[in-house]
A and B are shown apart, each in its own frame.
Chain A
């Protein structure tokens, strides 16, 4: 009897855990993710094609390809997997992570869409019983509303796409090519002597 009760309790806890995990996995994120990684690799072309292939295997695709960088879109939930692969591909020299919350914009657009659809429904009812004189006016309003609804739907689809797919930029060299400021003042004398360019120059000219 006691054993049966324990088993029931364990099953119950297991179900609760499963529900929680599923809820976490399928909860729709309202933030778009942008990640950038700068890596140094021996064979740039091979790395590029491997990463694109991996992104496609994860359900993503590439949007930009040049000598210096690739930009890929990968399903948001698989961003970490892709970034891990990028890190394994070479020597990481810098990383960046950026998120943008779209909760407010999406909710606002959805509410506006709902309202427009409601008004459109009302106009459609009016259209059925309208006289010749008012027909033109109602028709014009319906056309305008349909255009507005399509625009809103497009905008929502775009935002949802931004949420579904995160953008990962993989650069093969620093994008900002500004050389460190060698003459930047420090209150400590010896720190002013710390400069990579001077070290290289010392070997070059002596």
Chain B
């Protein structure tokens, strides 16, 4: 085997290896943006849209994470609330939220961000080995204007 063949084989090997390292595809079954929000198209072709923004800068995103360690919603409710408060967010309210198919948890927080104070809403749904996370944030008063629409969009998650 000459040097040229070895080089070709090595390049092919690393090409195959690197193709396996592609980021896990973010598949959002059906993305519903809150009413009045514009869908943010992803720069990555393999990603379906999962983000939206309002004209006054309130942002909304849905993503999935591995349910690791595998636990039920009641477990993640407590863990999430504790973690967020420990890191310095201020608790505003929490509630249960339901979509057509599943039950979830909605946590509302506030925190200073730069010169302004922001609201941060998190909705989680446990789907087997995945956790669907909906997040929205924006300056408190602007966020308040879109709150209902954001909750309505979270309720449409499938």
Q: Do A and B bind each other?
A: yes
* A14 close to B (CB within 8 Å): no
Of the candidates A180, A184, A194, the one whose C-beta lies within 8 Å of that of B80 is A194
Chain A residues lying within 8 Å of B100, measured Cβ to Cβ, are: none
Of the candidates B43, B83, B87, B141, the one whose C-beta lies within 8 Å of that of A206 is B43
Of the candidates A91, A174, A188, A191, the one whose C-beta lies within 8 Å of that of B112 is A174
* A196 close to B (CB within 8 Å): yes
* A182 close to B (CB within 8 Å): yes
B113 touches A91 (CB 8 A): no
Interface residues of B (CB under 8 A from A): 40, 42-43, 51, 53, 59, 61, 65-66, 68-69, 79-80, 83-84, 86-90, 92, 109-113, 116-118, 120, 122, 131, 133, 135, 137, 140-141, 144
* A63 close to B (CB within 8 Å): no
Mark interface residues in A1-43 (1 if CB within 8 Å of B CB, else 0): 0000000000000000000000000000000000000001110
CB distance from A23 to the nearest CB of B (A): 38
Chain A residues lying within 8 Å of B141, measured Cβ to Cβ, are: 40-42, 91
* A133 close to B (CB within 8 Å): no
Q: How far is the CA of A16 from the CA of B75 in the complex (A)?
A: 52
A173 touches B112 (CB 8 A): yes
B59 touches A199 (CB 8 A): yes
CB distance from A89 to the nearest CB of B (A): 13
CB distance from A67 to the nearest CB of B (A): 12
Within 8 A of B (CB), among A145-178: 173-174, 176-178
Decide yes or no: A190 and B65 within 8 Å by CB, A91-B141, A93-B92, A178-B88 being known contacts: yes
B111 touches A196 (CB 8 A): yes
Decide yes or no: A193 and B65 within 8 Å by CB, A174-B117, A180-B88 being known contacts: yes
Decide yes or no: A180 and B89 within 8 Å by CB, A93-B140, A190-B66, A190-B68 being known contacts: yes
CB distance from A138 to the nearest CB of B (A): 63
What are 29 A-B pairs at a CB distance below 8 A? A40-B117, A41-B141, A93-B92, A93-B117, A94-B110, A173-B116, A173-B117, A177-B112, A179-B111, A179-B112, A179-B113, A180-B111, A182-B87, A186-B79, A188-B69, A188-B79, A188-B83, A189-B65, A189-B66, A190-B68, A191-B79, A193-B65, A194-B80, A194-B83, A194-B133, A196-B89, A196-B120, A196-B137, A199-B61
